[in-house]
Structure 1
C-alpha cells in the first residue's frame, strides 16, 4: 500500500506544475490594471508607475513567472495587494469557515443521497423510486443561488428561525449547507441507485437470496461494498467541487470563506491571492483524487496490483 501511495503521489507533481503555469498565465490575462486599482482612482501616472514597480508588475512576464515559481516552491505566496497582509494569513483565516461548511454539506448530502439511492434501487420502478428520483432531478435542476435566496426568504425573513448571515453558531450552517449540498445529494442519489441496480442483478446476490439471507443483509453485506467504488469516485469528485464551488453560496450568504475572498480578490485584481486560491483548489482536487485511489485499493485490494 505504501508503494502504491508513493507512486500515485509522485505522478501528481507534473500536474501541479502545469496548474501553476496555467494559473499564472490566466491571472495575468484578466482585464484591468491592478497597479491603478491599488494606487486609487485619483493617483497620477507617476504614482501608478511606482506602485507597479513595487508590485513587480513592470518586469517581463517570464521574469515574473520565475519569481512566482521560486516563491511558491519555498511556500511564499506573496503579499495581498488589497490588504498588504501575507497571502497565507488571508487564506488561513478564511479556510476553516469554508472547510467546515463543505464538510457539513458533504455529510448530510452523502447520508441522504445514498439513502435515497439505495431505497430507489431496492424498490425500483415503484413509488419510492419515483419520489426519490423526482427529488434528485429537482436538486440537480435548481440553481444554487436561487435555492439559497428562497431558503433565506422563507426561514430567515418570514419565519425568523435561522440567521441571514453567519453569526458563529451552528444555526448559521443550516441554510448554506442545504444550499451547497442539495445538488451533491441529488447526484449521489442517482449514482448510488445506478450502482446498486447493477449489483442487485449479479449472480452472487441471487445466490444469497436463494440461500434465504434476509433482504436487509443482502443489501448491506453483499451489495453495499461491491457498489461503493463508483459511489466513492463520485463522492471524492463532489467534495472537490464543493470546496471550489462554494463561491456562489458564500456570496449569497455573505459567508466569510475562501469563495468570498476569491470574488473580492478578482474584483480588485489581487493577483497573489487569486493565484494562491486557485492553486489551493487545484491541490485539493489532486489530494482528493489520491485519497479516492487509496480508497479503491482498500475496498478492492486487487486494484493496487494492477
Structure 2
C-alpha cells in the first residue's frame, strides 16, 4: 500500500495511490462504519495503519477501483505530514564495496544528528539557500517512518513498529560544518533543509529492503548511487539501535544515510530516486 498527502482545496489530506489515480481516505468508511482520519499523521498516531493495511490486502485494493479518484497528473503533493516529534539522521553509512562490511569494527556505532521540524518541506517546494553560508549540499536518503511507540526493541522486532519507508533530501551547510565539525546539527538545521515524500510505502510492499538502490540526482543526472545492502547500519538495526536510548514515537523519521552529496546552487533541481518509488524532486532558490 502506498499513501501520500495531497493539497486539495487548501487542505492537506491523506490519499491512497492506485494505478488510475489517488483516492482520498476520507471518501469512504471503515469496515465498522467509522471515518478514516483526514491526515496521514493522524492515521499513524491513532494506530490505524494496521487496520487500513488489512482492509487493503483483504479486498480493499479492488474496492478502490470503484471510488472517485484524483488523477495522477492533477495531484499536488504536500509533505507527508508536518511536525514529526523527531527527525533523526545518520551519516557515513555506506561502503562502496560489500567486502568492506566485513572490516567494520563490531563496537562501532552510527554517526547521528537531529533536525528540527522547521527544516521540513515537501515535494516541489523550494530549497532556500541561506545567505552567507557558503557551500550547500543535498543528499538523497531512504527514510524510515516509525508507526508505533517503542523502546528497547530488538532488530527482529523492528519491522513490526515501522509504518513504512519514504524518501528524503537532507541539506547541509558544508562550510558551517567544516568550521565546527562537532556541531553538525547546526549545519543541518536551516529552514527548508529537509524534504520528504511523496509516497509512504508500507513494509509489506517491499520484498527485501536491502535490494533497494538509492540515487542522488542533480539536474537529471544520477551523480551518486548505492544499494541498501551496502549500509554499515541497515534499517532494522538502525531502528533497534535508536530505541535503546530514546522512546520512538509514531511519526518519527530516521534517515538512513546517503550514497553521496551534491553541491546545489540557485536554479538547480535535486532529486532522490529509489527503484520504483515516485521520485522526490525539489528546486533550489537563492
More strand by share: 2
TM beyond 0.5: no
TM-score, normalised to structure 1, is 0.23
| Higher radius of gyration, 1 or 2 | 1
TM-score, normalised to structure 2, is 0.24
More helix by share: 1
